[in-house]
Amino acid sequence: MIQVSDRVATLPGYPLARIPSLKRRLLDAGVDVIDLGAGDADTPPPRETIDALIGALDQTAMHKYAFQQGLPAFREAAARWMLRRFETVFDPATELLPLIGSKEGLAHLVFAVCNPGDVVILPE
């Protein structure tokens, strides 16, 4: 069995991981729960989306490592969307970085802006 470090062993559980068990207890108690949780889609994606993903599997470019900073065309499209949606201008080359998820971005943000020994204040 792999032993984790003392540092990892003392970490508290991820708070949002408790939500499914809480939801289950409420449902079992007869409470009508409306789940607004992210990533918990209750409908399948549109057929066009599924077909596009299947088609992408045949493209050899999809079998390689992605650009570390995202495709320039994607960053430019994201900048246009931010302008349209929030009337906020971003330079796609220097101010936008696609991530695999928000948790990944937040976790790595600390490494980007803090040095060992820096004091960081976090809410409980």
Complete DSSP assignment for 104-116: HHHHHHHHHH--T
How many other CB atoms are there within 10 angstroms of residue 105's CB atom?
A: 13
* Annotated domain spans of the chain: 66-115
Token digits of residue 41: 């889609």
pLDDT score of 51: 96
What pLDDT digit, counting tens, does each position of 32-84 carry? 988 877 666 778 899 999 999 999 999 888 888 776 788 899 999 999 999 99
Q: Model-level pTM?
A: 0.46
**90-99 contact pairs (CB < 8 A, 24+):** 96/70, 97/69, 97/70, 98/69, 98/70, 98/74
pLDDT score at 38: 65
pLDDT tens by residue, 88-117: 999 999 999 888 888 888 888 888 888 888
| Structure tokens that stand for 28 in this block | 């079992």
